[in-house]
Amino acid sequence: MKLVSRLVGYLRGDVEQADLTALQSAGGEVYSLVEGLPRGPARLAAWNAYVLQTYGDKLVAASRTSTYVRTDTAALAAESFRLACLWLGRANSLMADPGAAPSAAPAEPLPHWHTAIRCDEQLVGMRETLIALHAYVAYDLNSFAREPPRLHEALAEIEQQLDTVDILWIKHPPAEIRGGIGTALCRGLDDAYALGQALSVADE
């Protein structure tokens, strides 16, 4: 089956995973960075990098083979890695100079797909990303002595999107269900990104 998948990837003109390796590796240090920073601009920049790196990594990992990545998946993953590196650089600059002006949040929360219907592996990558981000923000929110109500409500919204995905998740779903899953995942990912940003600069 894996041989067939590799052949399909080759014939379809998909991107070799090796072509993404350098870009993917460039932002890897963010995983050990974000939690060690105090809340403030540097942590916000590191969180942005963390989300983008996680998204790209999960999309690549969800590919059917270890050789090829679908062209549209590779494009979105590469954009995520590129932005992760930019935000990682910003986080390092702010750590070196805490008095520097903070960066604004990205105009678009995450790189978005250009079509509504996602293939199985893309949905898996998105779902795995949302699960990881939900776990992070839920744990981070619990570290507050008193949970701000608006942030708790934001977490509930993310959990509602995850519940929707779980209800709709079936093997080889038809297009209308794929669309529903993809919409819920996109909303959940954007909400998780925004909640993590708020937590990064919130007063405990």
Please state the separation of Cα 186 from the chain's center in Å. 10
Q: 143 vs 49, 130, 136, 160, 178, CA distance in Å? A: 21, 20, 11, 22, 35
pLDDT-derived band at 7, boundaries 50, 70, 90:
very low
Candidates 108, 30, 124; CA nearest to 73 is 124
| Statement: residue 57 has pLDDT above 70 | yes
Mean pLDDT of 174-203: 94
Mapping DSSP to helix (H, G, I), strand (E, B) and coil, where does residue 15 land?
strand
Amino acid (one-letter) located at 177: I
pTM of the model: 0.87
Over residues 157-170, the pLDDT tens digits come to 999 999 999 999 99
pLDDT-derived band at 104, boundaries 50, 70, 90:
low
Q: Are strands 68-69 and 15-16 parallel, antiparallel or unpaired?
A: antiparallel
Q: What share of the chain is helix, strand, coil (3-state, %, to 5)?
A: 70, 0, 25
| pLDDT at 3 (0 to 100) | 43
| pLDDT at 182 (0 to 100) | 95
Mean pLDDT of 174-188: 95
φ, ψ (nearest 5 deg) of residue 112: -110, 155
| pLDDT at 4 (0 to 100) | 40
Over residues 78-89, the pLDDT tens digits come to 999 999 999 999
Long-range contacts of 71-76 (CB under 8 A, 24+ apart): 71/12, 71/13, 71/14, 71/15, 72/113, 72/114, 72/122, 73/121, 73/122, 73/125, 74/14, 74/15, 74/19, 74/20, 76/111, 76/113
| Statement: residue 175 has pLDDT above 70 | yes
Q: Per DSSP, what are the bridge partners of residue 15?
A: 69
Please tell me which residue, 12 or 7, carries the higher pLDDT value.
12
